[in-house]
Amino acid sequence: MTPSSLCVGLAETIRGFQLILSGELDSLPEQAFYLIEMTLNLCVLTPNRIVYNFKLKEIILPTNSGQIDVLPSHAPIATAVDIGILRIRLNDQWLTIVLTDAFARIGNNEITQTLEKVEAILRKAEGKRQIIEVNLALRRAKTRVEATNTIW
């Protein structure tokens, strides 16, 4: 996300002011102007590179205490992310990433997610076989953790 991609062009700004001054927008409630840019910026990082950096509408994070659904204007929070599936809503499409060893920081409509490993790439709904494989891998990992806890 570059700073220029967050800015409105001069011509569009002038056109917006002309609409306001002409009274064409007088029938709209004041709150309509608050909700114009209701998106989140997501930056997914690994130790080696930036994996994703884009605007989105919603994200669901798996955490130790359950899933967190993050929408624009979410309260600031920093959390460890549990092994699981990160769900991202871009427009009307849901994308997923399988996570292990992650940490997320949320604030000012920005989400920074650091990952030790990205085990799967973004995939669309047609990847049902991959989702089944991911669920099996997750179950195997949980079983290993339970077995380790039982031994100790």
pLDDT digits (tens, 9 = 90+) for 60-101: 999 888 899 998 888 999 998 888 888 988 877 888 887 777
Pull the structure tokens for residue 77. 């929070």
Pull the structure tokens for residue 114. 């650091």
Q: Residue ranges of the chain with pLDDT lower than 70? A: 1-8, 31-37, 116-127, 151-152
Q: What is the pLDDT of residue 4?
A: 42
Alpha helices in the chain (DSSP H): 10-22, 128-151
Q: What is the pLDDT of residue 118?
A: 53
* Closest to 137 (Cα-Cα) out of 95, 88, 94, 85: 85
Q: What is the pLDDT of residue 5?
A: 44
Q: What is the pLDDT of residue 34?
A: 59
* Closest to 53 (Cα-Cα) out of 100, 116, 131, 122: 122
Q: What is the pLDDT of residue 119?
A: 44
Residue with tokens 């920081």: 105
User: Are 115 and 102 in contact, with CB atoms under 8 Å apart?
Assistant: yes
Type of residue numbered 108: N
Whether the model pTM is above 0.85: no
Helix, coil or strand: residue 50: strand
Q: What is the pLDDT of residue 33?
A: 64
The 10 Å CB-count burial string (b at 16+, else e) for 70-81 is beeebeeeeeeb
Domains and CATH numbers, the chain: 37-145 (2.60.15.10)
